[in-house]
Chains A and B, each alone.
Chain A
Amino acid sequence: MDTDLQKLLALWLSEVEDDAIARPLLERLKIDNDFRKAFVDELAILGQLKAVQSSEPRWLRLEDLVGNIDRNTDDDAFEASVMSRIIVTSSGNPSVSLRTHWMWAATGFTLRQRSVLVEVCLCRVCKSRFVKS
């Protein structure tokens, strides 16, 4: 590794303010194409590593302007079509949906009653066995 490249990277990656070191490196960066290319290659890959290994940021200002960035516009259209169908179905025949609601409620109540009955029976069987032993 070129020592000047190492010095320049060290300077770039730190916040040390040292004109005596920086000046000759800047001069070489100006005139030496290969040196500049090597430095740029290093910076480019460092930037890519930084971006690819960090989590995706939440850009709230941007989301205020354009909405949720990771939501597809297709998803929005799909969601809107589902919602409109739901609204049409429920407003089309309210008595049907109300009847269905009560039917499910009644089924739930019956099942709950039965499970309580089963629990009581099992409890009695256990109790009688326990008393016998």
Chain B
Amino acid sequence: MLNSEQTKQAIRQVLAGDCDAFRVLIREHRLMLRSYLGSQLHRVDEMDDLAQEVFVTAYRDLARFKIDSDFGAWLRGIAHNHLLMHFRTVGRQKARDAKFRVEVTHLIEYDLEQAFHEQTEFAIECLLRCIGKLPERMRQVVRGGLDGIKADSLAQELATTVGVIYSLHYRANALLRNCVKAELE
């Protein structure tokens, strides 16, 4: 994704000493960055803490950024490094889980970057409208996942099996992707 004129201007302003202009960059990229981190972290508080760290690093290292390259991709690069560090820190308590996460994060790095490279903040915002259009049972499953309810608890609550919960979530995600696509068209 190319940088918008607003992004380019804000970067120039920050580099010229106007630190307030960095707010424009935060506002323009926070939803994308939180989504990127949220795709690899379970908890919302972890996602938001790390997003803050990424913005602080970006603010301090902005002089290293090349104005004609993709600012969103640059932020995601910083986020990727922070994620690996985070997994290693957490991994002191759960070494095997951390090893698994680090390995997956490396394996999907390119494809995940491609997925977010094509993403706009507007498309992410469309999701809110699309969730409202989901059938009730699917909405419950999506909501349950966000509230951190485990699949087996959700299965008990909806009187079904864990496999059905995963399947419902998978179908709900497919419907959401199609809905966002239709909204963008």
Give residues in A with beta carbon < 8 Å to B.
Answer: 1, 5-6, 9-17, 19, 22, 26, 29-30, 36-37, 39-54, 56-57, 59, 61-62, 65-71, 73, 76
Contact = CB atoms under 8 A, between A and B. Distances in A.
Given A1-B170, A6-B166, A29-B104, A44 B146 contact: no
Given A53-B146, A57-B51, A59-B51, 9 more contacts: A17-B94, A41-B177, A43-B108, A47-B36, A48-B124, A49-B176, A52-B127, A52-B128, A65-B19
Give the interface residue-count category, chain B: 35 or more
Contacts of A11: 100
Interface of B: 19-24, 26-27, 30-31, 34-40, 42, 44, 47-48, 51-52, 55-56, 59, 94, 96-97, 100-101, 103-104, 107-108, 111-112, 115-116, 119, 124-125, 127-128, 131, 142, 145-146, 150-151, 162-163, 166-167, 170, 173, 176-177
A17 B100 CA distance: 8
Nearest to B21: A73
Contacts, number: 156
B158 to A, nearest CB: 17
Contacts of A69: 23, 26-27
